[in-house]
Structure 1
Amino acid sequence: MDVMKDQCSSFSSLGAYGRAVRDIPQRLQTRMWAVWTPNEELDRIKERSGGEMQRKLGWCDVMALGVGGMVGAGILVTTGSAARLYAGPSVIVAYVVAGFSALLSAFCYTEFAVDMPIAGGAFSYLQITFGEFAAFLTGANLMMEYVISNAAVARSFTCYLAAAFGVVSADEWRFKANGVSEGSSVQLDFLALAILIILTIFLCYSTKDSSIFNMVVTLVHLAFIVFIIIAGFAKGNISNLSQPGLPADPGGFFPYGAKGVFNGAAIVYFSYIGYDAVTTLAEEVKDPERNLPVGVLGSVIIVTILYCLMAAAICMLVPYDMVRALSLSVSLCLSLARARERTHMPLLWV
């Protein structure tokens, strides 16, 4: 069966689409385990996609996009819970373990991306290894992952912007949805929607220009992280890396042992999500055999170093068992203000 012909004809008309829906059981039976060859994925998908993509991205662009994709809300929401509940000060080692795991996964992604420099990403890689059905499930999961994660980040932007303008609750900038059940908390966030639309239009305009924008925003974000690192090493107390705030809690750098380190690594691995998306730029990268591995692997290494330093700074600012947080903005300001006095003030996470 000519898969490409079937896919094109299914959407040629309303009647053809109806026949395709009717033939789903038969197609599922014959194509569930159908595996594409690398040549089909490289040539026929490009032929169907239309015009050739322009290769304008270098290794520095790939690295900046990788760092920008990983450095985000993850570091701000996982460090506190991982340190307080699982690893203690050894959350620093947990970031190393998670970073090493991400690096191994990045090796796999770059290997596929170099052999097949196309924009399909994990969908294409699975289509030539496990077949169409596995690729379909993975593609659907990736779509859901990006939709949900991007919606959550966009919604949090409303909270940060509202706080910047002195608004007590970001709900004041949202609208309650009509027609939902009584007592439901469903709200419409038009500011988050506007941010997504603007960024989508900017991304569709030019990948090269959007990579420059991403680089600028990433540098600002890195400046914030560097500030936390400097403040933590300058104002923090190194004894907090071994002494808990409450005598009843276990002490030492590994208060929960090796199990705590690996449990913490499982939590903080969320902070590394994003490096895999960079491989979908393979068709837009100059000399992908060189620039893709350097960009992807370099970004994972840079982010791992930054995360470890930031985790060390946070653990020196306050004892691990006094952390009550899942975010950093207000708590870091409070802990910095008290650092000179060396008081064990709990972090108030927002």
Structure 2
Amino acid sequence: MSGKNSVFRTKSIAETIAETKSGGKELKKTLGAFELTMLGIGAIIGTGIFVLTGVAAADYAGPALILSFVFAGMACTFAALCYAELAAMIPVAGSAYTFGYVGLGEIWAWIIGWDLILEYTVAVAAVAVGWSGYMVQLFKGFGITIPVALCNPPGQNGGIVNLPSVIILFIIMCILIRGVSQSAKLNDVLVIIKLTVVILFIVLGIGHVKVANWNPFFPYGVGGVFKGAAIVFFSYIGFDAVSTAAEEVKNPQKDLPIGIVASLIVCTILYIVVSAILTGMVPYQQFHNNAAPVAYALARVGINWGSALVSVGAICGITSVLVVMSFGGTRILFALSRDGLLPQLFSDVHPKFQTPIKSTLLVGIVTIVLSGFLQISRLAEMTNIGTLAAFCIVSISVIVLRKREPDQERPFRCPGSPVTPLIATAFCAYLITQLPTFTKEVFVIWLIIGFAIYFGYGRRNSVMNNK
């Protein structure tokens, strides 16, 4: 363990767990394996399957989008096994941030925690804008037109505020304040609805697949497969949100690995099947700038009632993503605050609901402002680089902890270590290189701001100073 004043100082697993039971800042344990699996599916199946499939097919991979999902899914699978080992061993709120603190040291923990705050808040804001677009279209179907000034941000189509996204995020903030069990129950209902809709699309669409639409299979070359994988990686972020709930799980050693791995397997299979059917139903070029490719494909082959149902399912699907991603962001902020790296007020727990009230309010307000008043389509790509960086740190932490603490109890062991964590790191590092230059530039700027906060406040106020 590094010295007391070192930026690489680490926490022991025992003290990390003990801290969750002291100071009146313990979260209520209400979740089981089923809720965790549904939480993961709730975060993963959403914008990726209902929006990004069309974008990635038209602009990056063509019909080879199937392989993009396979490649991205493989990267996530290796990383998920690493997450499962650490989440079962360290059942504490904070996900990759906490794992990095224990495995690699405070500075690495801060980097990834700060990074995850950006990832979750920008992702929530971006997804809320997508939710607003689907809701506006649904209202139009009923003959109700929302004025463009109230469904667009300033500077876009004469907009003043994106009111639907503001309203949905305010409702979700209130639900999260009320309690995680209520949030989980809402998520369960939404997940069942959207899984039903996805399966309906598969059943309706498979009979309209034309093999000719898969030719050429590699219109953008093999390189397009990997660029597509880097883009659709956004579709997979969410299983890591399961580990942010670790402290609120009744039997984390058993249930966390089940929730992480099961949600990833279910979603990977659905992504591959849906992308194959989608590009088989409609020539991939037609999905360019199409924000609702799944509904569009059904309407294109004359199944208008199915298209309408998919739109409803997309709204439910994207709503559940908003619930889970907002939840994840509040827990990362809570963990950083409890460790003293951010002001302690953000780790205050509501006396009745036992939820991190001020963290939830801050994440809610920031995401409301972003989605309501900013055009953030390019910033949404930031979620990819943040998640990929987190996966690298988690994977390396597994190797370090296996070496440093070989006798530590591991209820779930990542198979094939250290090879599996190394493969996960290599996959994720390669996908980072495939992201747009703008994404990398914004990531560096955010890290510079983070370093200023850490060395100006966090290092001095860290609870590790008193250890």
Q: TM-score range by the shorter chain?
A: 0.7 to 0.9
Correspondence 1:332 to 2:309 = no
Deviation of 1:254 after TM superposition, in Å, equals 3.7
* SS in structure 1 of the partner of residue 30 of structure 2: coil
What is the distance in 2 between the residues matched to 1:52 and 1:337?
A: 54
Correspondence 1:41 to 2:5 = no
Deviations 1:179-213 (A, max 9, x none): xxx99977433442232222122123222222121
What is the distance in 1 between the residues matched to 2:224 and 2:164?
A: 40
Contact (CA 8 Å) 1:159, 1:169: kept in 2 or not? no
Deviation of 1:66 after TM superposition, in Å, equals 0.2
Long gaps (5+) in structure 1 = 4-26, 244-250, 340-350
Matching residue of 1:261: 225
Matching residue of 1:145: 119
Equivalent residue for 2:209, pick from 223, 226, 236: 236
Deviation of 1:69 after TM superposition, in Å, equals 0.5
Aligned residues: 298
1:1-350 residue pairs with structure 2 within 5 A? 30-48=5-23, 50=24, 52-166=26-140, 171-174=148-151, 187-241=160-214, 243=215, 251=216, 253-327=217-291, 328=293, 331-337=296-302
What is the distance in 1 between the residues matched to 2:163 and 2:224?
A: 41
Q: Tell me the amino acid that sits aligned with residue 233 of structure 1.
A: I
The RMSD of aligned alpha carbons is 2.8
What is the distance in 1 between the residues matched to 2:184 and 2:115?
A: 25
Deviation of 1:175 after TM superposition, in Å, equals 8.1
Alpha-carbon distance change, 330 to 229 in structure 1, aligned in 2, over 3 angstroms: closer
Long gaps (5+) in structure 2 = 305-467
What is the distance in 2 between the residues matched to 1:325 and 1:176?
A: 19
Contact (CA 8 Å) 2:129, 2:162: kept in 1 or not? yes
Deviation of 1:80 after TM superposition, in Å, equals 2.0
Contact (CA 8 Å) 2:152, 2:158: kept in 1 or not? no
- More displaced 10-residue stretch of structure 1: 285-294 or 106-115: 285-294
Alpha-carbon distance change, 212 to 183 in structure 1, aligned in 2, over 3 angstroms: closer
What is the distance in 1 between the residues matched to 2:156 and 2:172?
A: 33
Deviation of 1:115 after TM superposition, in Å, equals 0.7
Which protein shows a greater Rg?
1
Deviations 1:244-291 (A, max 9, x none): xxxxxxx2x344453332222222111001111110111222222221
What is the distance in 1 between the residues matched to 2:303 and 2:166?
A: 39
What is the distance in 2 between the residues matched to 1:37 and 1:140?
A: 21
Instruction: Report the TM-score, using the length of structure 1 for normalisation.
Output: 0.76
Contact (CA 8 Å) 2:43, 2:239: kept in 1 or not? yes
Contact (CA 8 Å) 1:163, 1:170: kept in 2 or not? no
What is the distance in 2 between the residues matched to 1:117 and 1:283?
A: 6
Contact (CA 8 Å) 1:66, 1:278: kept in 2 or not? yes
Deviation of 1:35 after TM superposition, in Å, equals 1.9
Deviation of 1:151 after TM superposition, in Å, equals 1.6
Matching residue of 1:11: none
Deviations 1:116-160 (A, max 9, x none): 111121111111222222222221221122111112222333322
Deviation of 1:172 after TM superposition, in Å, equals 3.0
- More displaced 10-residue stretch of structure 1: 217-226 or 310-319: 217-226
Instruction: Report the TM-score, using the length of structure 2 for normalisation.
Output: 0.58
What is the distance in 2 between the residues matched to 1:298 and 1:233?
A: 25
Deviation of 1:221 after TM superposition, in Å, equals 1.4
What is the distance in 2 between the residues matched to 1:255 and 1:176?
A: 35
What is the distance in 2 between the residues matched to 1:269 and 1:237?
A: 27
Q: Tell me the amino acid that sits aligned with residue 206 of structure 2.
A: F
What is the distance in 2 between the residues matched to 1:271 and 1:201?
A: 26
